[in-house]
Amino acid sequence: MPNLITTALSTLTVVLVTTLYFKTSIRRPPVAANGIPFLNHVLVFMKGQYFLGDMFQGLENENAVEGAVMGRRMYVVRGGENVRAVLGSSQLKMRGTGESSGGRLEKLRTLNTGLLFNSNVASWKQHRKLLVENIGRPRFIKSLIPKLNEYMNSLTPVLDELADTLDVIMDVIFSEERNAAYQYVKDTLGSNDGEYPECDTMITTIHKFMDAQKYFTSTPPFLFNYVKLKETRMHDASVDTFEKVITQRVHEKLESLQQEPQNTTNELDLASALLLDPSPEMTPDRVISVIKEAVFGGQDTSSNTLAFILYELSRNPSIADAVHAEIADLQGPITETNISRLKLVEAVIHETSRLYNVAPTAIRYLSEDDGFVFVLMCENHLRAGREEEVGPSGFGWNFAPFGYGVRKCPGESLALLEMKMVVAHLCKRYKFRLATDEPVKIKETFRRV
């Protein structure tokens, strides 16, 4: 009997030790690099999303590492399989709760609404459905082509005058200062005040809302909830203005459609597409929510990518010349028929998105562990073990500039159309060259890179 008890205890000990070993040594990823005592990896996260790769220093063969910020566990993962797991539809339950936001979502008026900050799964799915069905509607996308042609043609006289000055304008294109390009045009082309259109106030309103988003998500909740700060009042006003401007424009559009409900033209703006949606879910409040999401999520992403496209075309004149030749072959204005022939332009957009992804990570909350998961969707394209095949499908899940699955950017078609139109108009008329061989310095901010 004693031998039996001893054997049982020995077996139990082996099982417990083996279980603990596998749990701690095999299932858990290695500790991330560049951590410091007490603060852990807070300095890495403060640098920005593009520097999360520093956590893999010396761990190049790993696709998952464990970090911490002020004692809270974080996992940073990369690689196609991890991107698939986190962005796949089966992981939809991995969402945080609005109640844990400390009042941040209430301040931004995004609690249980929209997509970017919505923690209510049912509401998220509904908003996703409404946004995808309308912003991706072929009729809506096609109607934008003549509008974009008209807009770019209206810029041609100003751009021609700028080209004649032979000024170095790269600092303006890549400036993070708001309205820098507009102010540059006014200063360069003389003192004809009022000759050029003023900057749309909506752009300023959106930028101020983005500042408010950064403030409320990075400031400890007790400061903006219980301490009367000047900054809190300022950002509260920005959120209020953003809400009022969108609401006012939606109501104006609704009144216009009620007076002339039948849209007989091929032109259809987003607000009209949403308000004309016959589904019962599309209430005026949801229209406002969807439009807020669209203008906030798409305002600077395309413009940043366009800036990097021009920079890379300037660095690669042979490719720029090939792009120019492809566009010249269209022989006429860009239409919904011939825009599909711009294969090289589309390839340039995708390659730029791979090198300079404006949304390089995705953040997920873990439902079974205490922490977050940061997914690096744009891996280092020179890292060891990369795929040898290069082509449209060569990168697989390692290339996800617009995401995948249910979390794929609903504005992908719109963004690609905008960028193709702008690149086509610019490269058809102008050639871009670098004035200096110095590499561009990239500074990451919330609103632009």
Per the annotation, where are the binding residues? 409
**CA of residue 85 relative to chain centroid, distance:** 20
Q: Which two tokens stand for residue 206?
A: 């959106």
What burial letters (b/e) apply to 154-179, b meaning 16+ CB within 10 Å?
eeeeeeeebeeeeeebbebbbbeeee
Residue type, 1: M
72-78 and 371-376: which strand pairing? parallel
* Annotated binding-site positions for heme: 409
Q: How far is CA 332 from CA 335, 338, 343, in A?
A: 9, 9, 17
Q: Which two tokens stand for residue 323?
A: 């792009």
E strands, 262-402, are 361-365, 371-376
What burial letters (b/e) apply to 8-18, b meaning 16+ CB within 10 Å?
eeeeeeeeeee
Q: Which candidate, 281, 201, 209, places its Cα nearest to that of 249?
A: 201
Q: Which two tokens stand for residue 241?
A: 């203005």
- Could you tell me the sign of the dihedral formed by the alpha carbons of 221, 222, 223, 227, in that order? positive
Non-local CB neighbours of 300 within 8 Å, separated by 6+ positions: 210, 358, 447, 448
DSSP-assigned states of every residue in 201-215: HHHHHHHHHHHHHHH
Calpha distance 379→299 (Å, rounded): 25
Calpha distance 28→105 (Å, rounded): 32
Q: Is 102 left (phi over 0), alpha (psi -120 to 50) or beta?
A: left
List, edge to edge, every strand of the sheet that includes 64-69.
Answer: 64-69, 72-78, 371-376, 361-365
Q: How far is CA 234 from CA 205, 295, 438, in A?
A: 13, 21, 39
E strands, 26-136, are 64-69, 72-78
Q: Which candidate, 75, 66, 69, places its Cα nearest to that of 42?
A: 69
Q: Where are the alpha helices (DSSP H) in 299-342?
A: 301-315, 317-328
